[in-house]
């Protein structure tokens, strides 16, 4: 199992490209199931989750071809399709649930294993099921599989007004994709507003879908009989960009993040500016300059749905707070188990106390290298950031989590001057 060895204490300088967003690419790969015509995506990140999704789609009969240097991928889902998502693939990635809506809309049936992924807390699929049932699907959960089919005598889903009990990104995406081929209008209330949802909607519109209101809490979808092929560039990964912002902020230095979208990171940028980090937004990327964590001011924050502070940036900013000056309180409202990185940060010398859903961080600590273990995707990134600042050598184990969501992270950090290497 691969590990990362990092020798800390070096500032970061230079330029790195920000890859396409994992959380946009995965649903957009699934959108290929909605049409028999070719779908070409550009800027698809090279990630383990993307490779898993490709294998899953190919198992259903989708033809997939990669091309070009910018992450080009063309998919074609000609009939007949095999509407099955087996446990062996789904267990490693919760985003696999995103095949459920497209398969049901296109094939009239689907058998999808209950998903796996990072153990950061409950992410129930009941909202997906509730919405599809409102659209006329008959769904049961048996032996670890979601069994879904159209009601007898129906050839298409039907439009419905659906209000989810919570804001759910994958739920919004699944129901939006299913609704594109339904009869009549579907209205999604309490919809997720994340940039990745907007990017998926723009792709579906390019395929011929009729969607309005994406980016707001109410999305209107007027179903059409069929969708066509399209070409689309995956939006830049705001979480990767935010991770590099925190890395440069903690280690000190100056960097240019090519392709990063500052307008997708308002909450994170606001906290970095308050901490004393310089952030410059340009149409083609973002610049960041920092004197280093010891010269910064720790910031309290509370995670919430977009456009609030993203839960996927909580661990990375907490690592910054460990070395910035002063106390801070980090409250996690989205996932109940997303403090598993805390004990590993403590191994590096951080002072953190957990009380319920709030972590109290005493900043200004001098971290020292140690062997630590990644417990989930974003926890991995927080340990890398802490290691960049720590004195001596840090070894981060179980970095397969990191490979699920970051495109060649160690190479990009090395390009910025970090002393980091992958050990097989």
Please give the structure tokens belonging to residue 197.
Answer: 């949802």
Looking at 107, 118, 246, 322, which residue is catalytic? 118
Rounded CA separation 181/144 (Å): 27
Rounded CA separation 169/23 (Å): 9
118 is catalytic: yes
Known binding-site residue numbers for phosphoenolpyruvate: 22-23
Q: What are phi and psi of 375, to 5 degrees?
A: -110, -20
- The pLDDT tens digits along the chain (424 residues) read 899 999 999 999 999 999 999 999 999 999 999 999 999 999 999 999 999 999 999 999 999 999 977 789 999 999 999 999 999 888 888 889 999 999 999 999 999 998 754 443 445 789 999 999 999 999 999 888 999 999 888 999 999 999 999 999 999 999 999 999 999 999 999 999 999 999 999 999 999 999 999 999 999 999 999 999 999 999 999 999 999 999 999 999 999 999 999 999 999 999 999 999 999 999 999 999 999 999 999 999 999 999 999 999 999 999 999 999 999 999 999 987 789 999 999 999 999 999 999 999 999 999 999 999 998 888 999 999 999 999 999 999 999 989 989 999 999 999 999 999 999 8
DSSP 265-310: -HHHHHHHHHHT-EEEEETTEEEEEES-GGGSB---EEB-STTSB-
Question: In this structure, which topology does domain 3-18+236-423 adopt according to CATH?
Answer: UDP-n-acetylglucosamine1-carboxyvinyl-transferase; Chain (3.65.10)
Q: Are 423 and 398 contacting, i.e. CB atoms less than 8 angstroms apart?
A: no
Known binding-site residue numbers: 22-23, 94, 123-127, 312, 334
CATH 3.65.10.10 segments of the chain:
3-18+236-423, 22-233
What are the C-alpha distances in Å from 231 to residues 52, 94, 215, 279? Answer: 22, 26, 21, 32
Known binding-site residue numbers for UDP-N-acetyl-alpha-D-glucosamine: 94, 123-127, 312, 334
How crowded is residue 357: how many other Cβ atoms within 10 Å of its Cβ?
16
Strand-pairing partners, residue 74, are 40, 65
Q: What is the CATH number of domain 22-233?
A: 3.65.10.10
Rounded CA separation 209/26 (Å): 19
How crowded is residue 118: how many other Cβ atoms within 10 Å of its Cβ?
22
Total count of residues recorded for the chain: 424
């Amino acid at each position: 199992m691969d590990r990362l060895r990092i020798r800390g204490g070096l500032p970061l300088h230079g330029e790195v490209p920000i890859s396409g967003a994992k959380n946009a690419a995965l649903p957009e790969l699934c959108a290929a199931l909605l049409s028999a015509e070719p779908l070409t995506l550009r800027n698809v990140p090279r990630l383990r989750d993307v490779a898993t999704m490709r294998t899953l789609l190919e198992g259903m009969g989708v033809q997939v071809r990669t091309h070009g240097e910018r992450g080009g991928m063309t998919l074609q889902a000609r009939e007949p399709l095999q509407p099955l998502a087996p446990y062996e693939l789904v267990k490693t990635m919760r985003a696999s649930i995103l095949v459920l809506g497209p398969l049901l809309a296109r094939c009239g049936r689907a058998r999808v294993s209950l998903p796996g992924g990072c153990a950061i807390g409950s992410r129930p699929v009941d909202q997906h099921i509730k919405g599809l049932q409102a659209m006329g699907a008959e769904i049961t959960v048996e032996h670890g599989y979601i069994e879904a089919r159209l009601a007898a005598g129906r050839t298409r889903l039907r439009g419905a007004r659906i209000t989810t009990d919570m804001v759910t990104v994958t739920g919004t995406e699944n129901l939006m994709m299913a609704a594109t081929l339904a009869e009549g209008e579907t209205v999604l209330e309490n919809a997720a507003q994340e940039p990745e949802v907007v990017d998926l909607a723009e792709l579906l519109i390019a395929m011929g879908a009729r969607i309005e209101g994406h980016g707001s809490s109410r999305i209107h979808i007027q179903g059409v009989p069929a969708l066509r092929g399209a070409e689309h560039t995956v939006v830049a990964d705001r979480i990767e960009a935010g991770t590099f912002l925190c890395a440069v902020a903690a280690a000190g230095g100056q960097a240019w993040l090519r392709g990063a979208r500052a307008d997708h990171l308002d909450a994170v940028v606001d906290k970095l500016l308050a901490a004393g980090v310089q952030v410059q937004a340009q149409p083609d990327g973002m610049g960041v300059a920092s004197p280093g964590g010891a010269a910064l001011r720790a910031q309290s924050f509370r995670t919430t749905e977009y456009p609030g502070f993203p839960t996927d940036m909580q661990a990375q900013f907490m690592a910054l707070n460990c070395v910035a000056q002063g106390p801070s309180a980090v409250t996690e409202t989205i996932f109940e188990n997303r403090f598993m990185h805390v004990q590993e940060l403590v191994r590096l010398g951080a002072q953190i106390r957990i009380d319920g859903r709030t972590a109290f961080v005493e900043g200004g600590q001098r971290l020292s290298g140690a062997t630590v273990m990644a417990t989930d995707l974003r926890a991995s990134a927080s340990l890398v950031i802490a290691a960049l600042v720590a004195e001596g050598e840090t070894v981060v184990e179980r970095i397969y989590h990191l490979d699920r969501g970051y495109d060649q992270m160690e190479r990009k950090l090395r390009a910025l001057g970090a002393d980091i290497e992958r050990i097989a």
